[in-house]
Amino acid sequence: MTASLSVDERRVLDNLKAVEERLCAACAAAGRHREDVTLMAVTKTVAPELVNVVLDAGVTCIGENRVQEYLSKRDALHLDGVKRHLIGHLQTNKVKRIVGEVDMIQSVDSVHLAKAISDAAKLTERGVMDVLVEVNIGGEESKSGVTPDALPELLDEIRIFDGIRVRGLMTIPPIFHTESEKRAIFSKMHKLFIDIQGKKVDNGSMELLSMGMSSDFAEAVLEGSTLIRVGSAIFGERQYK
């Protein structure tokens, strides 16, 4: 078996194993169970054959940023039993094409977008779409997501849409280089999550906290992440064409 793998495929498997080991170590250090954290493989720019290497190795969740890229790769992927999430910024005019194709949209950050997803989801067989609300925890101008201050109001306004189920929060924090800075921002996000959980949402169940990427997933797990989104640590540096 192993002998038939290409150099790239073997490298990806080795990377996955290393990520899994670091994830297990972070869970142990945090006194958490490994099963309580989902490892998502972020597959943007990655060829379907390499994505299939990690799916065949047991990864059960993938994330794509762009609607078009996902739709063009989907048929070549080994998706049996695999959850598919859209994690990139979504324009309302693309909503109809992606609802019904994925299991979750992690990047809801406006009432307008939430309504478009809800309306589109009601026309699908399932009738509902799971979503996360994206929070701009660092308050950076250039980032999508709602600010922590605006979060309660957004949640309040979208609770009337019965075609979505709000399952939790997602964040992409600023890039920090020290462990203590990384932990501080994730801790702030976790506090916000706990605070919001205390308030009742009608169309959802606040249980998922999506935070942590290649450079900071261990810190995110130490601060309560339930889903980490890992791309380059598994697949190598992205080659944008």
Ligand X SMILES: *Cc1c(COP(=O)(O)O)cnc(C)c1O
Positions that interact with ligand X (CB under 6 A) = 42, 44, 65, 87-88, 172, 213-215, 229-233
**27/86 with CB nearer ligand X:** 86
**12/203 with CB nearer ligand X:** 12
CB of 81 to ligand X, least distance (A): 22
CB of 43 to ligand X, least distance (A): 9
Contact yes or no for 201/166 (Cβ under 8 A): yes
What amino acid occupies position 158? Answer: I
CB of 5 to ligand X, least distance (A): 22
DSSP-H helix ranges across the chain: 7-30, 48-56, 67-73, 95-98, 111-122, 151-158, 179-198, 217-222, 232-235
**158/213 with CB nearer ligand X:** 213
Q: Which residue is nearest to ligand X (CB)?
A: 231
CA distances from 161 to 154, 167, 225 (A): 12, 14, 26
- Triad 134, 63, 204: Cα angle to 5°: 45
Give residue for tokens 């490298």: 11
CB of 123 to ligand X, least distance (A): 27
CB of 89 to ligand X, least distance (A): 9
**38/232 with CB nearer ligand X:** 232
**199/238 with CB nearer ligand X:** 238
CA distances from 231 to 57, 78, 150, 217 (A): 16, 18, 29, 11
